[in-house]
Structure formats: structure tokens, C-alpha cells
Structure 1
Amino acid sequence: MVLASMVLLGLSGTVAATLYIQVRARLVLAQAGSAYVAKTLCSGVLMAEMDDAQLWAAELSRARGLVNARFIPDRGEVVTDALWGLVSARATRQSNLGCSLYHQDMPPVSLPEQPRPVSSDQPSPSMPWRLDPASPDAPPGAPDVQELQEVLDEAFREPDPQNPRRTRAVVVVHNGWVVAERYAPGVSPATPLIGWSVTKALTHALVGIAVKEELLQLDKPVQVPEWTLPEDPRRAITLDQLLRMSSGLAFTEVYGDFETDVVKMLLHSEDAAAYAAGKPLEAEPGRLWHYSSGDSNLISRGLRLALSDDAAYWRFPYEHLFQPLGMHSAVVETDPSGTFVGSSLAYATARDWARFGLLYLHDGVWGDRRLLPHGWVKQAITPTPGSEGNYGAHWWLNQGGRFPDLPRDTFYARGFSGQLMMIVPSRNVVIVRLGQTPGKGFNPNTFARRVLKAL
């Protein structure tokens, strides 16, 4: 009898444990899904003016039927709920900028409106057309038009429903001239599209400007208020180590699991940098390369603290980078605390991402104006020890041959769901591809190889 009771108790415990795991997984999914849907719809519809049906069909397809959403236009908000209203989330528009998630314990810091010049780009100019003000007066030699046309056709084709490509925009620049450009239905040359981790390249540029203005120093730590104890070894982490993802901080950069650090930081944290600052060391700073969006957000808040003036901080990317470069569509969104999410949340048109790529192709010079300090692009493309030639400083490198069919001097920024901004100095080419590719439907090596062949 005692043995039977023990068996029953064991079975009951197993059932209870299984039920707990299932309920908890459902709750975690609902929390992450509600926040992601609210933020995506706010930025995509209220800021980028995309059709919400297009977003539901692509990046929000997994949440359809699980998460409900409604727009509150007069307040510039999107409110979502799941699990019969037990879980909810809200995102709000930030004046004429992007959107921020809203946490019940901490409404987002309200950002002031920024001057946003209107782009003078023509909607559909004939090819080729001049993008770089310092480019030759004459366009480059005629590309293989048929091959280039076939490359674009293939980029937008959907041959496998199980592995959708969902390419939204492609811009190819050769010798400063746009020689190929195409957009998906519902997307135009004026549509700002998210870069996800391509944002890290923007953060690298902003840091370079701050270094030029002596606000930050590469070989010194950035301010991290959470690391105040003298014996805290994290206080030794330098700005250069954060840029190179060799901080040594333990951080899980996995997107398929809703309980990893990157998901918690982007969707559930009121202060992304504070979340990253709470992570322990897994290695001595400078000894281990480990890709981490947490490092990027520590840098972003470090710039904010170095400026010690929030109004100046919120103006900084617009005054020092976007306006001089002509990236008039560009927006970097903030977390609820008001810090730019420098790891992930920048939007710009494909043309403006191409402008940014040209800045790095030309060693930080745009037209006749140097925006980045001398040597800053070299710092970006100098390999980080331990990365096997695949990573520099907030930029990916091809020195390790990750893309075997492309020149080894190629460097690039890439983001979640297939975002790509590629610079090929030996060919004087910048390639931008933006989309919403959930799996392996898009092959950047094959795509870029065929583009270069056509040129």
C-alpha cells in the first residue's frame, strides 16, 4: 500500500511537472509574442507606414491567432493581448521618430521631436543614377543587364514555400551609381525598413564620431553604473573590447528560444544596457570572442552618459551622422529608459542604408566632408582575435572566407531575418538586401557572387 501511494505520488508529480512546463512555455510565448507584435506593428505601421496585413503575413505569422492587436491612432499606440487577456503589451510612437515598448512599471521616456529633412531622391529614377556625390560624373561601364535582371528576379522569387525569401528591397551601388534597385509589393524607395543587427554598424559610426570629439576613448571603459565595486573585474572592460564582442560577459544570442538573453533584453527589459550589465563574466575581458547584442547596448548607454545631456544624446545620430550623410529616413529607436537600442532597432530606406555603406567604402568620408576619424574604418575591419577572421569591430569580415565566392576584402553588416549591407572595396561596390527571411531561403554568398559577376 505504501509502495502504491509512492508510485501515485510520483506519477502525480510527473504530471504536475509536465503541466507546469507546458503552461510556463505557453506563458513565455504569450509574453514575448505580445511585446513583439506591439512593437512590430507600431514601428511598421505607425512609423514606416507599411500595411499591417503584410506584417501579419510575414514576421508576425507565428503570432496570428495567438495575439490580438488594436491601434489607438490618437495616442500613437498599439495594444496587444494574449491568453484571454492575461498577458498584454503596448508600444507607443515617439513623436516623429520610431516606437518604444511600454512597461507598466516604467512608461517610456518621451523623446522630443527631431528635425527630419525630406529626402530629395526621385521615386523611380532611370538606371543608373548617381547616389554618391563624390562619384565620377559618368556612370560605370554597362553591366550585364540580363544577368543582373535575373539576379534580382531570383532574389524576389519564392521557389520553396517552406523556406520563404520575402525579399523586400535590393539596392546595388557600383562606383557610386545605383545600377540595380527593386522593391517588393507594399514597399517603396521611401519605406524605412528595419536593419536589426545592421544597427550595430551605425553604433560603430556613432562611437567613432564620439571618439573624434573626445567623448569616448577606445582603450578606456565606458560608464557602467552597475559596476561600482572596486573589486568588480567587469570594470576593466574597454570600449574596444565591447566593440569587438570580446568583453567576456556571458550573454546568449539565440532567437529561437524566447528565454534567451537577447529576447529578454529586447522585449522585456526597461533598460537594455542595465540588463546586459547584470551578466557575469564567462571569460577574462579580451580573451574570448563571443557575439553579443548586450555589448552594443552597453556602448549606447555609455555614449549617453558621456554626453550627460539627454537632449544632446537624442540629437546626436541625426546631427552628426544622418543629416550630413543624407540619411533622412533613418531612425534609431530607444528602450523605455530612453537609450538607443544600438544593437538592433534602426530603420532606414534601402537607399539610405546604401549611403551608409558608401561612407565606410570611402573610409568615413562623404562628399568632401570627413564624418569619421582617420583610421576608424580600419579599426572596424581589423580582425578580432578568436573570430577566425570573421569579425572586426561591430562589422563582419570575409577575411576568414565565410563567403567563399566573394573577395576576401569584403566586409558587411548583417541582421536577423536576412538583412545585409555588404561592402566590396576591391570592386567599389555596395550591396543592400532587406527582407524577412525566417530560415535559409536566402543565400547571401550566391546572391552577392552573381551581382559581382553581372558588374
Structure 2
Amino acid sequence: MKILKRTLLLVLIALTIAIYYNYPKLNILAGYSAKNTASSVFLAERSLEFTDTNDNNFSPINLTSDEINAGEKSATGSVYGLLKRKAIYREGLGAVLVTDDFDTSKPQLTPKRSKADNTTPFPYGNADHKDTIFSNIDYKKLKETIDTIFNSRNQTRSVLVVYKDKIVFEKYDAGFTKESKQLGWSMTKSITSTLFGILNCQRKINFQQDNLFPEWENDDRKNITIHNLLQMNSGLEWEEDYNTISDATKMLFLEKDMTKVQVNKPLIGKPNESWNYSSGTTNLLSGILRSQFDTHQEYLDFWYEALIDKIGMNSMIIETDMSNHYVGSSYAWATARDWAKLGLLYLHNGEWNGEHLFDQDWVTYATTPTPTSDGWYGAQIWLNAGSRYPDAPKNMYSFNGYKGQNVFILPDQDLVVVRTGLTKNADMNTLLKGILESIKN
């Protein structure tokens, strides 16, 4: 009996130690599951069963279990019942992870939205356009090329090809349609930077502004400029790893105000000489955008009035954190067609239906390689200057997101290609090569 008691005690001690050391990981796992479930069910209007079978069905997230409360529009994620996290959905603001002390009854400011234009054809409205047949397109080859990345391995959810402002090919996986909102993950970063381009065009911001935060006044961080932040070349410490407990995962699943996380990070490199991909930097930029406005309502409205609703991306929702700041690094949801509209805005150098939101100078700036990025990165936009996609033009650039979300802009070919999915397994170079071979300019 004594041996049994001692054995049980040792097991209990070992279990306690294991829980103690793994608690932060369990916290993040449950947080990811709860947040993703709330967004999927209440924002993207998918079922809990679909979400658990697909979006949350990968290691180690598949260790969690999820429940929803339809009445209060909330989702709860737990890991073996040891730890629970809750996310709530708020109309106009999306889903957010909350803490026990979060007052769900407190009214929240929400962005004002424009009425969707459902009568004007795409791209300037949301109605279908009349089919246009281009004699220089091999539609059979185009279809065969795109079909190859729709399988269980690639888990592609949508591919959209827009040529000369016309949708020439569009395909969705089972369960998805042109109305399905899809999470862009880090494609959201390009939304955030575009807003800086708009402010720059309006002569309302100076990219060379330094001494950005009081916390930086007394050390070398005072030399960091908005320009350095846009290029992710500030020299600030940051670890971007979604497979571990990193700065990125702690920010997304533990922090109340994501705009402040990197403010407190030390300088470990030199501005303009230390490119380092950082979601913390983009949320820092979201905080800087907030500082451009007298009221929080103006900040919330600006993202939609100046860009999102302005170009008819009416399906798009940018989710906020608990402090009601936009999570500019990661949380934009939209249909494939609306993601394509952002690409078309860049293809047309900031002009949209006769109105200039930004100019050619911004496009040139945003697509100029950041020093020390090996030609991969501009101002929150990915580049092909370093031939990441060897069979695509070097002046192609793209908005990219976690798990293989892409909007490719090919200026010389008058082409925008959207791909969304659940994995990065798809060979995007081969896809782009096949599309280019299908369209003879």
C-alpha cells in the first residue's frame, strides 16, 4: 500500500511539474483554438464541425476541444480540460480573445461602414461582370494548371486570376464560394502599410519621423523612423515563430494591447541594417496610425473610409484586440474577390475608378527592396527581386500570409493572382509559370 501511495504521489508531482512548465504553451494552444473558432463560426459563418475538422485539425492545435455559445456569440477552447480560453465575437470588430476581467457588457466603438455596391460589376462593385473571352488565353491550359493545386495535400481553398480587370478563372474548394470570407493572416500587413501610403499621399505623415515613443527617448531607439518600421528594418528584438512560444504567439494569444508589445523590446541591431520579419512591428505601426487621429472613432473609421470600403472590399473585416486596436499584422478576413481588389489597386498605381488613393511614388517605395532583405521585402510587401519564384517576373510582388495566402501582382502582364488555403505545400512557382504560359501577351 505504501508503494502504491508513493507511486501515485510521484505521478502527481510529475504531472504538476509538467503542467507548470507547459502552462504557457497550453494557454496559447487554447487561445488559438478559441479565437480561430469564434472567427470561423461567427465571422466566416462556418460550422463548428467544419472548423474543427479543417481549420483546427493540425498538430498541436488538434489537442484542443472547442465549444460555442451561439447566444452570446462566444467560443471556448480547452486542452484536456486543464485550461480554458474564451473568445467573443463583436459585430464590426470580429472575434477577440478575452480575459476573465474583460467587461463584455461595456459598449464598444465600431467602425462606420459604407453600403456595398452590389449592382456595379467587379472590380468596382460586387456584381458579376459579363464574361470576356481573350483570344490570347489558353483557357484549357489555365484550367489544368490551377486544377493541379486543388487536392488534399495542398488544401487550396480558392484561386482567382484577374487579367485586364476581368476574372478569367475562378475556382473554389468544396464548401467555399465567391462569398466565403477567408483569413489573410499576414496579408493584413499590406493593408496596414497601404494606409501609410494613403496618408503620405495626403501629406499627413513623414516617414522619416523619429523619436516615436517616450520609452525610446533616452537610448538609440530614438533614431528608429517610421520608414525603418515599414521596412521591418528597425533593429528591434523580435522572434517570429508560430511553432513555439515566441514573441509572435505570445502577442497574438496573450496580449491585451498588441500595439505596445514591441515598444518595450531592446535594440539588438542597427536601423536600416537589420531586416527582421516582425508582426510586432506591424502592430506597432497600427498604434502609430492611432496616434494620427484625435479620437478612437476616427482611427476605426479611417481603415474603411480611406481604403477598404473605398475600393469596395465590403466583405473585409479587420479584427481588433481587447484594447480595440486593429490587429494590423494578422487578422483581416475577406472574400478572394475582395483580396484581388487590393492587388488591382496596386496594379493601377493607386488609382481606383478615377480617384487616386495613393500615387506611383508609393508603389515604387513599397516595392523597393529593404536593405539586408536579399531582395525579398519592401514596405510590408513581399518582392520577387531576389527570384524567390524563378519562373515569374522579377518585378512581381505580393501580399503573403501564414499557411499560403497570396495576392500576386504582375505589372507587366496586367495580372493579379489570388490563392488562399490551409497549407504552404502548393508549388506557387509552378502555378505562376503555368498561368503565365496560358496567357500570351
State the match for 1:125 in structure 2. Answer: none
**Contact 2:159–2:420 (CA<8 Å) still a contact in 1?**
yes
| Counterpart for residue 153 of structure 1 | 147
1:244 is the counterpart of 2:217: no
After superposition, the C-alpha distances for 1:388-441 in whole angstroms (9 at most, x for unaligned) are 21111111111111111111110011110010110011111100000111xx52
CA contact (8 A) 1:50 1:186 kept: no
Counterpart in the other structure of 1:453: 437
**Gap change, CA 1:151 and 1:374, over 3 Å in 2:** closer
SS in 1 for 2:399: strand
Which one is further off, 17-26 or 199-208?
17-26
Matched, 1:277 2:273: no
Report what 2:187 is aligned to: 198
5 Å matches for 1:148-297?
Answer: 148-158=142-152, 164-221=153-210, 223-227=212-216, 230-257=217-244, 259-297=245-283
Q: What amino acid is the match of 1:287? A: E
Q: Quick check: 1:272–1:341 contact (8 Å CA) kept in 2?
A: yes
Relative to structure 1, is the Cα distance of residues 236 and 68 closer, same or farther in structure 2, using a 3 angstrom cutoff? same
2:60 paired with 1:68: no
**C-alpha distance in structure 2 between counterparts of 1:64 and 1:393, whole Å:** 32
Backbone CA RMSD of aligned residues: 2.6
Q: Distance in 2 between matches of 1:176 and 1:152?
A: 19
**1:205-250: CA deviations, max 9, x gaps?**
11112223344211113843543xx312212211110010101111
Q: Is the 8 A contact 1:140 1:177 kept in 2?
A: no
User: Match of 1:453, as an amino acid?
Assistant: E
Deviation at 1:295, TM superposition (A): 0.9
Q: What aligned pairs does 1:348-359 form with structure 2 within 5 A after superposition?
A: 348-359=334-345
Unaligned runs of 5+ residues in structure 1 are 1-14, 123-128, 159-163
Instruction: Quickly say closer, same or farther: Cα 1:218–1:248, change in 2 above 3 A.
Output: same
Structure 2 counterpart of 1:322, which letter? I
| Whole-angstrom distance in 2 between the partners of 1:121 and 1:405 | 38
CA distance in 2 between partners of 1:334 and 1:193 (Å)? 16
- After TM superposition, what 4+ stretches of structure 1 lie above 4 angstroms from structure 2? 15-22, 105-109, 135-139
Change (3 A) 1:44 1:137: closer
Give 1:25 shift: 5.3
Q: How many residues align?
A: 423
Conserved 8 A contact 1:143-1:454: yes
Q: Which aligned pairs between 1:7-86 and structure 2 lie closer than 5 A? A: 22-24=18-20, 26-61=22-57, 62=59, 66-84=63-81, 86=82
CA distance in 2, matches of 1:20, 1:247: 41
Q: Cα deviation per residue 1:279-299 (whole Å; 9 max; x = unaligned)?
A: 111112222111111111110
Q: Which amino acid aligns with 1:120?
A: N
Deviation at 1:22, TM superposition (A): 4.2
**Corresponding residue SS for 2:393:** coil
**Which one-letter code corresponds to 2:27 in the other structure?**
Q
2:122 & 2:149 partners in 1: Cα distance? 23
- 2:110 is aligned, of 76, 88, 112, to 112
Supply the distance in 2 between the matched residues of 1:106 and 1:97 (Cα, whole angstroms): 16
1-structure distance, mates of 2:277, 2:204: 25
Which residue of structure 1 aligns with residue 322 of structure 2?
336
> Structure 1 residues 17 and 207 mapped into 2: Cα distance closer, same or farther (>3 Å)?
farther
Tell me the SS of whatever aligns to 2:418.
strand
Superposition deviation, residue 130 in structure 1: 5.3
Shift of 1:64: 6.5
Distance 1:441 1:291, change over 3 A: same
Between the aligned residues of both structures, percent identity stands at 34
Which residue of 406, 413, 419 maps to 1:427? 413
TM-score normalised to the size of structure 2?
Answer: 0.89
Distance 1:111 1:387 in 2: 39
Secondary structure, counterpart of 1:186 in structure 2: coil
Match of residue 7 from structure 2: none
Q: Residues 25, 116 of structure 1: CA spacing in aligned structure 2 closer, same or farther, 3 A cutoff?
A: farther
Counterparts of 1:58 and 1:209, CA distance in 2: 37
